[in-house]
Structure 1
Amino acid sequence: MSENGQKDGPDFARGVEAGTLVAGVPLRGHVGGEPAMMVWTGDEVFVIGADCTHYHGPLDEGLVVGDTIRCPWHHACFSLRTGVALRAPAFDALPRWRVEQRDGRIYASGKVETHAGPAPVSAPRSVVIVGAGAAGFAAAHALRAEGYDGVIEMIGADPAQPYDRPNLSKDYLAGTAQPEWLPLRDPAWYRDNGVLLRLGRKVETLDPVAKRLTLEGGEAVSFDALLLATGAEPVRLPIPGADRPNVFYLRSVADSDRIIAACARAKRVAVIGASFIGLEVAASLRTRGLDVHVVAPEAVPMARILGPELGAHVRKLHETRGVVFHLEDTAIEIGEAGLTLGKGGALPADFVVIGVGVRPNLALAEAAGLATDKGVLVDEYLMTSAADVYAAGDIARWPDKITGEAIRVEHWVVAERQGQTAARNILGRRERFDAAPFFWSQHYDQAISYVGHAPSWDRCEISGDPASGDCAAVFYKGERKLAVATLGRDLESLKAEEAFEKAIGALV
């Protein structure tokens, strides 16, 4: 059904004419009122759920690749054959139905159950995951989905159960998402799936040879296989006043809650940093009705990542909502009632949010003697320099075929997909991590999708008009295409992802 409760398209239980299907083009409909889509690809026809199990994106507007379909919103990937979610950010399978063909019509009959895969032939007795964020949760989920029945322990410094971190700067901070939407799973899932959570616990030491961790307080935890997913922490500004109680960073749900609480007694806020996080915070606080001022050293927000045209568009998008920019300027001191700016003058503010980047949490890996260089170095299977020790997420620096370099990327979806790949490799699957990096950023009613990785580039080709909300920016270094950013072109973004994957596959 559509959002207004009306049935969309034909009822597949009553059948559709075979001639109405177009190869590779999903047909949206329903089965007895439940949203479904019929897809003809190759010599087969499939009927599966029509809405992504992540944020309910319309899969019928996505991209069919072989016997899979990809979500147009956040690039989750599902098997048409089984309904299983193959790639994050979706984890739950889609419903699917049997398909029958007779008298020139195609019908959906009874639902088909989806079951976990067979238990791996060879697997470690215990897997410990250090970090309860995107990569850690995705790894635990993948281990069980792959049929692993051994011990899984997840140790996280954050006292909260794994939650949807991207929402913290978007809808949750804006007040349009409920707290119960944040957990990636309810507590019963961990209990029912035998995943032991040790939350609010810090790992003090790692001995990769003895395969033992020591927790704060002295407790020892042994493992047969280990995944390090310790994430990152915000960069702290080394200026006077940055430790005042009216100064906030945003990394955890507790951080977001503190900012929300401060909004109740504030009228004006200063955001230091025009990063994606900084501007998402600005948009969310404007949605709450606060006066928002953004201070940043660059001339055009995010021009280094998105190019000057898209950066200028993002600035205008915020300015039309009332955000005031103080660009090519810095904060040199934070006081009780505002900022002192580098160019002189004061900027009044009831509270301050700092978003100037994050740094990976490498201390545990470095102290254990693992190979590190601006991240924990891993091979194409995400294994570190120590046997049976893997790394994923914000700390992992892996050999990237798109850039031809070792890279580290701080994207939620990348962390989840690396967690899934690491889990399968812990089970001996020998799966290369070859996904093209992807992230999305939400600014009011406009989403930016970005595929690939272009830490530096020398040419940007724009098609379409950013002001219209319909454009694409392609980033090159020499003749090598590194990344594609899109507004309002979801299918083009998916096709860019597929093209990168084909290019990566050709280089393996």
Structure 2
Amino acid sequence: MTEHAVAHVDQLEEDRALRVKAGDQTLIVLRHNGQVRAYQAGCPHAGAPLEEGAICEDRLICPWHKAAFALNDGEVTEPPALASLKRYPAQVRGDYLWVDDQPAHAPLPAPQGAGRTFIVVGAGAAGSAAVASLHRQGFAGQLLWIDPEADPAYDRTALSKFVIAGQQTPAQVPALLDDEVLAWPNLRRVRGNVSGLDAVNKHITLADGQQLTYDAALLATGGVPQRPAIPGAQLPGSFVLRSRDDAARVLEQARNSRRAVIIGDSFIGLEAASALRQLGLEVQVVSRHETPLARQVGHPVSRALRRLHEQNGVVFHTATEPASLEGHERVEAVMLTNGERLAADLVLFGTGVTPATHLAQGLPLGDDHSLIVDSGLRAAPGLWAVGDMVNFPLAGHPLRIEHWRVAQQQACLAAENMLGAQREYSDVPFFWSLQHGKTLEVLGHGRAWNAIELTGDADGMNFVALLCVDEQVESVVACGHRALLAMLSQRMKRPLSRGEALALIHS
């Protein structure tokens, strides 16, 4: 253990992180409420430089994906990071800040839940977040983690952004959990499919007939990608994109293709269009909408997104739908309802998912077959559910949100409630999308906005758009303003007026 003088005290501004070196360690140091602290410089999730983030509401927020950490001790408080920051001993002596180059030992949580059996079904973003949360909270019982994939718990967001663009191999997709969690003695991973759930008697049955009894269980089964009910939708060369294996198949086909057709202008469809253009394919997008995602991002941003894609060679076919896929042994063309025929070597469906609620027999379901949960994400006594599969109340409105980080937020909260907490979900949804080198960020959930306040240049992809209901900000859509969105990810947990938001944008 060696101390290093890393900064002069005059460099330590209140609530502003400073990147420094302590021997071989790259750290950030910051002063908050008069106390100076030192933490690892990169976010545990994807290595984002934390000094470029924001400090708000006693939190340090990652600039890239809005993970949040408590300023006083570095404890992770919001995903997608699932581990806390390493803290390094620091003290001011004379005119300099001295920092040890070895991290302080993190205190162990008090054990809780000894003798109980918890089950988590699903090992995507939500299931992984729940396991990590239970580990951080000191769960001392037995945790069974069930999923059919051989190597689950990976970052699915990389599939449409990087893998099918050829920038990452499927094997290079980052894992969600570190080795410490995966080696946790209380954790037993069970590979298999769940065939039945008895929520009254708290039994889960596996496809091989094995029956498991639980004290508390979490369903995190996500959604099932949809293929439209049209002739030829199952032809070889047509794909959905959900898993690492799906991405590997799409990439293999793309490398042997010249022409791709994307069905649907969803975020995953647009990301796939961008990725396949990077591989050099001719890409056409089929959509019912004149411009993509107008309801989610507002018309000015929607128009700018279409222009961005067209400037990069993507061709749109709008106000139409696929009527059929044609081909002899594999897909050769997409026939549209307007009579057009689009030649294709590869077809990718970006047409949404169906909630994977096949286990929820006898539990209340919504019209879209999502599982209805309460504000604490409880579906039945001792049973919680989160993510794409659930309909949950937010600010008094029933919602189903297919956002990766929302699923993680909910899973962390549900894990606390499984241990006896009584928390209610009231976090701010956030997601991001990478298209043709531009990062679009969306914060909040614009249910029924009636006004848009646009600051900046939408066509130049450097803007902030406020989607409002009258004078109340419901959602913020931005490109090129990561630190601002990081700050707003905490500030929007309370009502935010249009006037205050504009003041923050221009401050």
317-326 vs 152-161, greater mean Cα deviation: 152-161
1:332-388 Cα shifts (integer Å, max 9, x gaps) = 1111211112212211011210111112112211x143465642222222212x111
Matches within 5 A, 1:338-353: 338-353=333-348
Residue in 1 aligned with 2:223?
232
* Partner SS, residue 170 of structure 1: helix
Establish whether residue 206 from structure 1 lines up as the match of residue 197 from structure 2: yes
Residue in 2 aligned with 1:392?
386
1:265 alignment partner, one of 241, 256, 266: 256
Residue in 2 aligned with 1:354?
349
Residue in 2 aligned with 1:65?
56
1:10-33 Cα shifts (integer Å, max 9, x gaps) = x99224222222211111212113
2:403 alignment partner, one of 401, 411, 429: 411
* Partner SS, residue 277 of structure 1: helix
2:373 alignment partner, one of 371, 378, 381: 378
Partner amino acid, structure 2, of 1:467: D
TM-score normalised over the length of structure 1: 0.92
CA contact (8 A) 1:82 1:114 kept: no
Partner amino acid, structure 1, of 2:436: Y
CA contact (8 A) 1:267 1:291 kept: yes
Cα offset, 1:37, TM superposition:
1.2
CA contact (8 A) 1:123 1:428 kept: no
Cα offset, 1:473, TM superposition:
0.9
Matches within 5 A, 1:138-217: 138-178=129-169, 179-185=171-177, 189-199=181-191, 201-217=192-208
* Partner SS, residue 492 of structure 1: helix
User: Could you tell me how far apart the structure 2 residues matched to 1:378 and 1:343 are?
Assistant: 41
94-103 vs 308-317, greater mean Cα deviation: 94-103
1:322 alignment partner, one of 297, 304, 313: 313
Residue in 2 aligned with 1:335?
326
Establish whether residue 457 from structure 1 lines up as the match of residue 449 from structure 2: yes
* Partner SS, residue 44 of structure 2: coil
2:440 alignment partner, one of 444, 448, 464: 448
CA contact (8 A) 1:116 1:145 kept: no
Establish whether residue 291 from structure 1 lines up as the match of residue 282 from structure 2: yes
Establish whether residue 429 from structure 1 lines up as the match of residue 424 from structure 2: no
414-423 vs 100-109, greater mean Cα deviation: 100-109
- Please identify runs of 4+ aligned residues in structure 1 that moved more than 6 A: none
User: Could you tell me how far apart the structure 2 residues matched to 1:302 and 1:128 are?
Assistant: 37
Partner amino acid, structure 1, of 2:78: R
* Partner SS, residue 289 of structure 1: coil
Residue in 2 aligned with 1:30?
21
CA contact (8 A) 1:63 1:494 kept: yes
User: Could you tell me how far apart the structure 2 residues matched to 1:15 and 1:411 are?
Assistant: 40
Cα offset, 1:411, TM superposition:
0.6
* Partner SS, residue 363 of structure 1: coil
179-188 vs 37-46, greater mean Cα deviation: 179-188
1:14 alignment partner, one of 5, 15, 18: 5
User: Could you tell me how far apart the structure 2 residues matched to 1:115 and 1:368 are?
Assistant: 44
CA 1:400–1:321 in structure 2 vs 1: closer, same or farther (change >3 Å)?
Answer: same
User: Could you tell me how far apart the structure 2 residues matched to 1:331 and 1:162 are?
Assistant: 34
1:403-456 Cα shifts (integer Å, max 9, x gaps) = x30211111111111111111111113233221011001112111111101133
User: Could you tell me how far apart the structure 1 residues matched to 2:273 and 2:4 are?
Assistant: 48
Partner amino acid, structure 2, of 1:393: G
1:172-227 Cα shifts (integer Å, max 9, x gaps) = 1111124233332477852444422222x221221112110111132111111000
For structure 2, the residue ranges without an aligned partner over 5 or more in a row are 497-507
Partner amino acid, structure 2, of 1:362: T
User: Could you tell me how far apart the structure 1 residues matched to 2:226 and 2:127 are?
Assistant: 22
CA contact (8 A) 1:190 1:196 kept: no
137-146 vs 83-92, greater mean Cα deviation: 83-92
* Partner SS, residue 254 of structure 1: helix
Cα offset, 1:499, TM superposition:
2.2
Cα offset, 1:124, TM superposition:
6.2
% identity of equivalent residues: 33
User: Could you tell me how far apart the structure 2 residues matched to 1:265 and 1:25 are?
Assistant: 50
CA contact (8 A) 1:144 1:193 kept: no
User: Could you tell me how far apart the structure 2 residues matched to 1:20 and 1:64 are?
Assistant: 17
Partner amino acid, structure 2, of 1:363: H
TM-score normalised over the length of structure 2: 0.92
RMSD: 2.0
CA 1:429–1:110 in structure 2 vs 1: closer, same or farther (change >3 Å)?
Answer: farther
Cα offset, 1:477, TM superposition:
2.3
